[in-house]
Chain A
Amino acid sequence: MLRLVSRRARAQWPLLAALLGVVTIGATLLGTCTLLVTRTAERALEVAMARAAPADVDVTVYTGTVEGRDASSVTADTRTALTSALAPFAVTTSARASTVLRALPPELAPGTTVAAQAYLSGLDDLPARAELVTGRWPQHPGDAVLLEPTAERLGLTPGRRVRLGAELAHPPVPALEVTVVGVVRPLSGRGWDRDPLAAAGSATGYRDGRFLQPVNAYGPFLVDLADLVTTGATIDRMEVTAHPDLSHPNRRDLEAAAGAVRRADRALAGALGDRVQLARVSSDLPLTLRAADDQLHVTAAVVLAIAVLGGVLTATALVLAGRLTAGIRADETALRSTLGTSRRQLAATATLEAGLVAVVAAALAIPASSALHAGLTHLSPLDDAGLTVRPASTSAQILAVAAGALVLAAVLTVLAIRPVPAAGDRRTRRELLARSGADLMLAVFAAVGWWQLYAQPATAGPPDAVVLAPALLLTAGAALALRVVLPALRGVDRLAYRARGLALPLAVSEAARRPQAVAAGLLVGLTCAAGTFGLALGTTWHQSQRDQAALSVGTDLALTLSTAPVAGEGAAVSAATSGTVSPALDRGTAVGQWLGTAGDAPRLVAIDTTRADALLRGRLDSDRDWADVGATLAPRTRVTGIAIPTAAPLVLSGTAAGDTSLTVTPRLLLQDTTGLRTSCTGPAVPLDGREYPLPACATADGQRLVAVVLPVSADAAGGPVAVTVTLTVPPASSTERSTDGSDWTATSAPPVPSKVRDPSVTLSNTSTGTALRMAATVDLGGADDAARTLVATAFPDPGPVPAAVSARFASEAGASTGSQLSVTVGTTPVPIVVTEVVPTVPSAPGAVAVLADLDTLSRARVVTGDLTFPVDAWWVGHPAGPGAAERATALHLGTVTTREAETARLAGGPLRAGLPAALRLIVPAAALLLLAGVVLHVTCDVQVRAVEVARLRGLGMSRRDIRAVLLGQHVGVLLPLLAAGAAVGALTTRVVAPLLVRSDTGAAPVPAAQPHWPWPAEATLLVVLLTGCVLAVAAVVTVQVRRADAAHLRVAP
């Protein structure tokens, strides 16, 4: 038997080489995909974790109230517990602690009856968090440095010793004495938001939760942490953060660490006992690891879908090759049967041959898939994601290749031992029924697969159907397309016979009437469908990632602020990015009393909507764009107010009728050139007719006064009193107009507007500048602390703020265009009116969200006396150059996110890069299998018809005509099959591709993916496929026609 197989292999080596090639291609594809979902996935996890932001992997223990005697041991034990939990990773820890408030010497904060208190803080890495302004860093026990504002307000300079007395609301402890050795300036984004006073340096009316009465708090006095925990001072709050070194992680260690972190609360409680009142472990490490696994699962599902598709393509090519082989060997098989070879012996021979093919194919495919995989990792996006590896084999890959080769060999065996269909061009009824049944089953399975994809939950990861659905749909589509192509060819056949010559009708007849090789037709249609689908899926996936990134960031570049912005900051951002800059509000809100569902709070996004087109990003899914939406939200007129010269004091004077002693505490609202509004509060000014200079509020060029709020206070109750207040603004530079004719409006702020009646405001130019004269009648009756606030604004009351709401908002809140609602900004409810429902709001993908104009929103708050300008970020549209993000980051204002970077993360991050890499495989694999199948089919076809070709010459046809007939026949079949394949690919793209795209969390993407058909690439692919096929067919036909000579007539059956 082995001899027969060996001799036959020598005689039919081209055929066997073709079979071997097809099996090898399939096994290689399978091996490569296996490496992508195993080796690359593991590597991706390691790289992703190694690149994870510290906030995603750090473990922080928050500890509350530690007695001074325990502070040192608690710190040490906490560090030990964290190090132990994160083993075997090397851990660096950093800690910060703040003491409870202690009494300050009264002479440091004179002029107030409220107790002055201060606190100490210790930080491990203070020089990295602050900039030394003067003096030096603490070096010895008792050394302390102060923040600039603290030093200014307490009048402390280096060298001063300060005695900190009793702790507030705490059993007596010894006083502490510290020496101020330096003054520092806190650096932005270095964790000062976790300082008890958020690095403000002081706070009046501060309540620390221990003591009911408010105090004036100052601090921190920054000392070395090691020094702090030995002072005996009671620690109010302490944070110990452990940062694991994940530069060389592996899954087992990561999972062990994540598990230990989940159990760390209990372990820590056991370790610290009652030395602390509260200890809580906080870390996103387990979530980060789980999210990474989810992403890998999503990626693996699509990679496996591609592997299955490749397997189906290979099997189809193999069925074709197997049938051709069986056809060529039909005589040999018949002879062996005649000579007494049993069916079992025939099967054994076929199995042996197929087994040998499988073994050789596997032996070739293992190194080939390793090399192909390594090659892929050297290309973008795997290379960009840091997933480059050298060729290597894994047990999973070897197993997959071997299993794949064996399954394909089994297909070969079955084809070899099944009876060869009877010759003839008419199918038997049984064959037709079997084919119809198979097509029907395919269609049913495909429909089920599609339904599973379609009905998958929006929030869950991809279902298992994702693995099979594309292959099923493409195969079913190609099979059904065959049923359309053949009748179409027959129609063409009838038309072709109207021609006078022979070549055209004969070519068409050969195409339309030949015993149809279903496997060949299916292979051509399926490979074309798979190739076009692969291209389109790649484009759809990438476009969806771009859409998701655009909507997620909401703009081109977002700089999320870690501290409140200051005037002029926008100009710095603008200079750094050279883009369109707007302050942005992006935070949770409440709609009326509604806080959202299950922790999913409504979001409020507000920007300068007059520049919506430049600023807002995200697909709208309609014929409207963001400029249209912005136009409905933007205020009709801009606010410019009164120009204020930098560092020049404003002067306030006022009078009150009668003898009543009244004071006002002016609060001014200034707007800079980027639209950022900052408020400035002056001291209480008596309305005694004298002029009082106010602190220089304008800290940046180009600021303008847009609102003044005057809370009026009286020493005693009384009746109505007419008051007049004049705010004189010094003239600005000669090039800048002081006023612009803004519509200054006076009003009385809630909650009791009737307390200030007949408010009015007038603007006039005087010799000393621009005078803003405000007048009203103040009712001094009622409670002493009743609010009596006169508000003057450079704009009228805007009324309800126009807002565009997300579709989900409209659905869940039952809102529609024209609905009037109220959203809470800070503590101020702001009325809104819904002017438009958009699919989703930028930076709030899929959320219950509201989009409004920040200026209008601010105006609505200002007219109520609330001057806080809610800004969380700077949004930048069209930033210039690739270095804009780096330059923005260098401002140290907060975290920079860009649309491009987010797109790169989604499309080329290590956890997702395997998907586009796998998509790269399917197109060349499909093209290769198509060409192999076409060459094999045409070679066999022309060989079988060699005698017929010779006889055509006998009829008087020239070789040229015969070549034309054969070429025309095969191209005539290829063209409609390729067209049908492309149509199936397009249809599958439309119905399946969007369902295959998931977000990085495994949930349905927002916005929903839309099918994209890249015409140029698809056209190029089709041209390449057709050209390749035609060239292959032409080469085979030319060679075979040249060979078809009189010798064939002599050996003709």
Chain B
Amino acid sequence: MSSEPLLSVRGVHRRFGTGPTLVHALRGVSFDVAAGSMVALVGRSGSGKTTLLNVIGGLDRPDTGTVHVNGTDVTALDEDGLSLLRREKVSYVFQSFGLIPVLSAAENVAAPLRLARVAPAQRERRVELLLELVGLADHARQRPTELSGGQQQRVAIARALAASPRLLLADEPTGQLDAETGLSVMALLRGVVESEGVTVLVSTHDAVMMALADRVIRIHDGHLHEQAAGQPYESTPDVG
């Protein structure tokens, strides 16, 4: 683990709406994440988890503050730069899987590689490897609607890993899965951190996930609090 953090968030504010409908989603959030770690971001619904992930991934822009990923100032990038960032360094896993319905599992996994214009042969090998990794080598030709929720999320993880990102942002990846399937997905993510050396920032309600994380960050009403990994969520003290 290098001393330079892979992710550095400083003084990020994000508001939505105006006047009486104003929502202050993030209030001066600052934290660092070291490379190769798995960090759980926990908080109630509406606490700002998804907004924070979107700001980190460049899908949303903060009103103030900066975000650095692997030394790149995300907030300073233009639209093309952000696309490049997501193509090469940051990838997403969504709660609702986010697979492209018309593509097969293999084609979904290949999508980031196509965006990176990887040579076909190399692309095929990588897809095969990743599907093997997530245990879906036999389901390569099936489309998302023909897969179970857990299988779809595995494909989503495989796709997120396809372009060998440095940072993987997972927004409640087990939110639509039953406990057993969720556990297997979590184990997969943990395994990915170990095997691929990817840094994972995962928002979750899941206590098991928190237990698997190297570090747990709690977000409440736009403020960030940190707690020790493996501690129960409700008893977590604020860390300022």
Contacts and interface: CB of A to CB of B under 8 A. Distances in A.
B101 interface: yes
A914 to B, nearest CB: 49
Nearest to B25: A1050
A109 interface: no
B80 interface: yes
Contact of B50 (A500, A958, A1045, A1049): A1049
Interface stretch (B109-117, B209-217, B218-226): B109-117
B115 A500 contact: no
B97 to A, nearest CB: 9
Contact of A501 (B60, B92, B100, B114): B114
B92 A954 contact: yes
A956 B80 contact: no
Nearest to B176: A1053
Interface string A500-522: 11100110011001100000000
Given A501-B117, A1046-B54, A1050-B51, A509 B59 contact: no
A502 B94 contact: no
B237 interface: no
A500 B51 CA distance: 33
Interface string A934-968: 00000000000001101111111111010000000
Contacts of B118: 500
Interface string A360-378: 0000000000000000000
Contact of B171 (A505, A953, A959, A1049): A1049
Contact of A1045 (B59, B101, B102, B163): B59
Contacts of A959: 79
A344 to B, nearest CB: 33
Given A425-B101, A1049-B171, A501 B115 contact: yes
Contact of A1046 (B59, B100, B114): B59
B117 A1050 contact: no
Contacts of B145: 423-426
A954 B115 contact: no
Contact of A954 (B86, B102, B107, B163): B86
Contacts of A1023: none
Nearest to A505: B114
A704 B57 CA distance: 106
A1052 B86 contact: no
Interface residues of A, number: 34
B135 to A, nearest CB: 22
A959 B79 CA distance: 8
A956 B117 contact: no
Contact of B98 (A424, A513, A951, A956): A951
Contacts of A509: 102-103, 107
Contacts of A952: 100
B227 interface: no
Interface string A538-556: 0000000000000000000
B120 interface: yes
B84 A953 contact: no
Contacts of A500: 114, 117-120
Nearest to A954: B92
B102 A510 contact: yes
B87 interface: yes
Interface in B38-83: 50-51, 54, 57, 59-60, 79-80, 83
Interface in B111-165: 111-112, 114-115, 117-120, 143, 145, 159, 163
Contact of A502 (B51, B88, B115): B115
A1008 to B, nearest CB: 50
Contacts of A961: 83
B83 A958 contact: yes
A1046 B52 CA distance: 11
Given A957-B115, A959-B79, A948 B120 contact: no
A502 B60 CA distance: 23
Contacts of B143: 425
Contacts of B112: 955-956
B187 to A, nearest CB: 24
B149 to A, nearest CB: 12
Nearest to A424: B145
Contacts of B88: 956
A1049 B50 CA distance: 8
B50 A1050 contact: yes
Most B Cβ at <10 Å: residue of A498, A956, A959:
A956
A424 B142 CA distance: 13
A513 B59 contact: no
B95 interface: yes
A956 B114 contact: no
A884 B86 CA distance: 80
Most A Cβ at <10 Å: residue of B101, B102, B112, B115:
B102
A415 B102 CA distance: 26
Most B Cβ at <10 Å: residue of A951, A955, A1046:
A955
Interface in A1036-1053: 1045-1046, 1049-1050, 1052-1053
B63 to A, nearest CB: 14
Given A425-B143, A955-B86, A957-B83, A950 B59 contact: yes
Contacts of B83: 953, 956-958, 961
B181 interface: no
A312 B171 CA distance: 48
Contacts of A502: 111, 114-115
B176 to A, nearest CB: 9
B236 to A, nearest CB: 24
Nearest to A945: B101
Nearest to A504: B114
A1045 B60 contact: yes
Contacts of B59: 950, 953-954, 1045-1046, 1049
B96 interface: yes
Contacts of A1050: 50-51, 54
Contacts of A958: 79-80, 83
A505 B117 CA distance: 13
A955 B116 CA distance: 11
Given A425-B143, A1052-B94, A955 B119 contact: no
Given A500-B117, A956-B115, A958-B79, A506 B100 contact: yes
B161 to A, nearest CB: 13
Interface in B171-207: 171
A581 to B, nearest CB: 74
Nearest to B87: A956
A951 B92 contact: yes
A506 B103 CA distance: 8
A425 B102 contact: yes
A956 B103 contact: no
Nearest to B55: A1046
B17 to A, nearest CB: 11
Contact of B54 (A514, A955, A1049): A1049
Nearest to A951: B98
A514 to B, nearest CB: 6
Most B Cβ at <10 Å: residue of A425, A951, A954, A958:
A954
Contacts of A948: 98, 100-101
Given A500-B114, A1045-B60, A1046-B59, A954 B98 contact: yes
A497 B83 CA distance: 22
B105 to A, nearest CB: 14
Nearest to B101: A425
B43 to A, nearest CB: 14
A941 to B, nearest CB: 12
12 contacts: A425-B101, A500-B114, A500-B119, A505-B114, A948-B101, A950-B59, A954-B92, A955-B87, A955-B91, A955-B111, A1049-B59, A1049-B94
Q: Which 7 A-B pairs have the closest CB atoms?
A: A956-B87, A502-B114, A956-B86, A1046-B60, A513-B102, A954-B92, A951-B98
Given A505-B114, A506-B103, 14 more contacts: A425-B102, A425-B145, A509-B103, A509-B107, A950-B59, A951-B94, A951-B98, A955-B86, A956-B87, A956-B115, A957-B115, A1046-B50, A1046-B51, A1049-B54
